[in-house]
């Protein structure tokens, strides 16, 4: 189906959307159609290998009913006028929330995206979103139970476009767990596009723990965007795990708009086979006296490749900023590769900003020690990798998330237990199977 304004209006009319949502879809579609497909000349995208992926085929509108599961409204939220539900329900019960925040502030519809953003694919989500959630936590309300949203990709050349909105008012607190997965038999066939977008607004003094788990199938192309706008004294704890997909590109950003806002971003990635994992982070300081702290750690096996691009940008008024960024990667194969590209753009002069990146293979001495204690090479490397990940895993904060995450890593490692032979660290004449490639 060819995407046109009439197509969008027809889809919106069939779901009885408010006119302001339809207008924003049309603006976004216009931006999408006018924007060229990213290529080698685009610095943000030039390391992405699109291969046979066809964005226009994946952009075919379809009914995503049944592909999203929202957890029940927690009792402590229901008693305090918290809204939690689908965009369709929000349009009926909380239209003011959508009119004020949906594609207006964090990701404005139809607005030309600046650097460090996804351009054409951001606009595609805004035009075609077909599922998602909205959360509104009123002033002073603190919800202890986590809100959960689980999305499952469809099969074939189709697109899943969840659009999500989180607004926590002054002094409010909440936890959101957002997961993306695929059916067990989804590893073959045409590429499926999963392109979510999550907008987060944290008002003064608000606190949010936001957890993102991406474990989609090997036939999935994942292009996601997750961004926060933060006001005075707000705090964001953002933990993400990047395990699945054929190839992925995930944009994650925090924007400090008023003094004493704080954001902590933690990421874990694990690539096997010929997976390609791209992560773009953006710590954007507009106001003074704010803090951002970022740590991304990953392991790559076989021919897997990851690209980490991180930018800390300080505007002229962002004095007294404290910003840190680190990326560490464990290479489990001689053919695995990481391109780590940290960066600083500092327009203020009274700040503390640092960044760093490290990558390397397992120390043969440590591996020999563990194997001398009776562990197989697979067990030894798996133990080292688990210890390497643990620092990040603990920041996910919820046992209900941490235990399944560890299990997913274990299952992925088990599937990759007998990869290609690699040279032994003790000499070319002695071959061994590596733990993960």
136-189 pLDDT per residue, tens = 999 999 999 999 999 999 876 678 999 999 999 999 999 999 999 998 766 566
- What share of the chain in percent tops pLDDT 90? 68
Distance between CA atoms of 272 and 394, rounded to whole angstroms? 23
Strands 173-181, 147-152: pairing is parallel
Which residues lie below 8 Å from residue 241, measured CB to CB, with a gap of 6+? 212, 213, 214, 215, 267, 268, 269, 396, 405, 408
Average pLDDT value for residue range 62-76? 84
Phi, psi of 149 (to 5 degrees): -135, 120
pLDDT at 103 over 50: yes
Average pLDDT value for residue range 99-109? 93
Residue bearing the bigger pLDDT, 290 or 437: 290
pLDDT at 19 over 50: yes
pLDDT at 327 over 60: yes
**What pLDDT score does 38 carry?**
83
Ranges 41-50, 60-69, 186-195, 366-375, most confident: 366-375
DSSP 316: T
pLDDT at 235 over 70: yes
Q: Which two tokens stand for residue 208?
A: 């949010």
Which residues lie below 8 Å from residue 127, measured CB to CB, with a gap of 6+? 3, 8, 25, 26, 28, 29, 32
pLDDT at 431 over 70: no
* Continuous segment of H or E residues that includes residue 128: helix 120-128
Distance between CA atoms of 80 and 91, rounded to whole angstroms? 20
Average pLDDT value for residue range 84-103? 95
Sheet holding 291-300, edge to edge: 68-70, 147-152, 173-181, 207-215, 235-242, 262-271, 291-300, 322-331, 352-361
Q: What is the pLDDT of residues 296-305, one digit of tens each?
A: 999 999 999 9
CB of 103 within 8 A of CB of 109?
A: yes
pLDDT at 409 over 70: yes
pLDDT at 271 over 80: yes
Q: How many Cα atoms are found within 13 Å in the side-chain-facing hemisphere of 120?
A: 13
pLDDT at 427 over 60: no
In 65-203, the DSSP E strands lie at 68-70, 83-85, 131-137, 147-152, 159-160, 162-168, 173-181, 192-194, 197-202
Closest CA to 275 of 434, 119, 415, 157: 415
**What pLDDT score does 335 carry?**
92
Q: Which two tokens stand for residue 225?
A: 């965007």
Question: What is residue 294's three-state secondary structure?
Answer: strand
First to last CA, the chain: 42
Q: What is the pLDDT of residues 109-140, one digit of tens each?
A: 877 655 456 678 899 999 999 899 999 999 99
**What pLDDT score does 433 carry?**
34
Distance between CA atoms of 282 and 27, rounded to whole angstroms? 25
pLDDT at 428 over 50: no
Name the CA radius of gyration of the chain, rounded.
22
Residue bearing the bigger pLDDT, 41 or 344: 344
**What pLDDT score does 430 carry?**
32
The overall average pLDDT reported for the chain is: 88
Distance between CA atoms of 232 and 324, rounded to whole angstroms? 20
pLDDT band for position 37 (50/70/90)? confident
**What pLDDT score does 418 carry?**
42
Question: What is residue 210's three-state secondary structure?
Answer: strand
Distance between CA atoms of 334 and 431, rounded to whole angstroms? 14
Distance between CA atoms of 49 and 252, rounded to whole angstroms? 20
> Can you give the length of the chain in residues?
437
Question: What is residue 336's three-state secondary structure?
Answer: coil
Pick the range with the lowest mean pLDDT from 115-124, 234-243, 397-406: 115-124
Q: Which two tokens stand for residue 136?
A: 């509104």
pLDDT at 410 over 70: yes
CB of 104 within 8 A of CB of 184?
A: no
**What pLDDT score does 190 carry?**
66
Pick the range with the lowest mean pLDDT from 151-165, 204-218, 400-414: 151-165
pTM of the model: 0.91
Count other Cβ atoms within 10 Å, centred on residue 415: 12
pLDDT at 75 over 50: yes
Q: What is the pLDDT of residues 340-367, one digit of tens each?
A: 999 999 999 999 999 999 999 999 999 9
**What pLDDT score does 425 carry?**
42
Q: Which two tokens stand for residue 108?
A: 């404005």
pLDDT at 104 over 90: yes
């Amino acid at each position: 189906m060819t995407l046109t304004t009439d197509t969008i209006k027809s889809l919106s009319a069939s779901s009885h959307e408010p006119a302001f949502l339809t207008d924003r879809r049309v603006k976004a579609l216009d931006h999408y159609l006018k924007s060229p497909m990213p290529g080698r000349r685009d610095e943000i995208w030039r390391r992405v290998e699109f291969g046979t992926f066809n964005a226009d085929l994946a952009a075919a509108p379809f009914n995503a009913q049944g592909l999203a599961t929202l957890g029940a409204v927690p009792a402590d939220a229901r008693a305090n006028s918290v809204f939690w539900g689908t965009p369709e329900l929000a349009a009926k019960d909380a239209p003011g929330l959508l009119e004020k925040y949906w594609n207006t502030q964090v990701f404005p519809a139809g607005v030309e995206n600046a650097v460090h953003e996804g351009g054409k694919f951001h606009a595609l989500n805004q035009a075609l979103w077909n599922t998602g959630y909205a959360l509104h936590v009123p002033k002073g309300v603190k919800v202890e139970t986590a809100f959960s949203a689980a999305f499952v990709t469809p099969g074939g050349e189709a697109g899943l476009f969840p659009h999500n909105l989180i607004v926590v008012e002054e002094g409010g607190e909440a936890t959101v767990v957002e997961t993306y997965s695929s059916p067990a038999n989804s590893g073959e066939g045409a590429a499926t596009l999963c392109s979510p977008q999550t907008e987060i607004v944290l008002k003064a003094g608000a606190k949010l723990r936001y957890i993102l788990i991406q474990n989609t199938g090997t036939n999935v192309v994942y292009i996601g965007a997750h961004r926060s706008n933060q006001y005075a004294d707000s705090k964001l704890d953002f933990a993400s795990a990047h395990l699945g997909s054929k190839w992925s590109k995930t944009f994650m950003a925090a924007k400090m708009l008023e003094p004493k806002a704080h954001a902590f971003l933690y990421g874990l990635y694990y690539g096997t086979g010929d997976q390609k994992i791209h992560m773009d982070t953006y710590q954007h300081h507009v106001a003074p006296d704010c803090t951002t702290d970022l740590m991304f750690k990953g392991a790559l096996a076989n021919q897997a490749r990851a690209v980490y691009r991180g930018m800390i940008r300080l505007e002229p008024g962002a004095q007294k900023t404290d910003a840190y960024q680190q990326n560490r990667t464990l290479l489990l194969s001689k053919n695995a590769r990481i391109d780590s590209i940290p960066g600083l753009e500092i327009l203020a002069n009274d700040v503390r900003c640092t960044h760093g990146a490290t990558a390397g293979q397992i120390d043969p001495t440590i591996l020999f020690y563990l194997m001398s204690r009776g562990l197989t090479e697979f067990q030894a490397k798996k133990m080292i990798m688990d210890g390497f990940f643990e620092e990040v895993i603990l920041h996910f904060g919820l046992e209900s998330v941490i235990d399944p995450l560890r299990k997913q890593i274990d299952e992925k490692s088990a599937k990759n237990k007998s990869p290609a032979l690699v040279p032994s660290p003790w000499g070319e004449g002695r071959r061994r199977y590596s733990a993960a490639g």
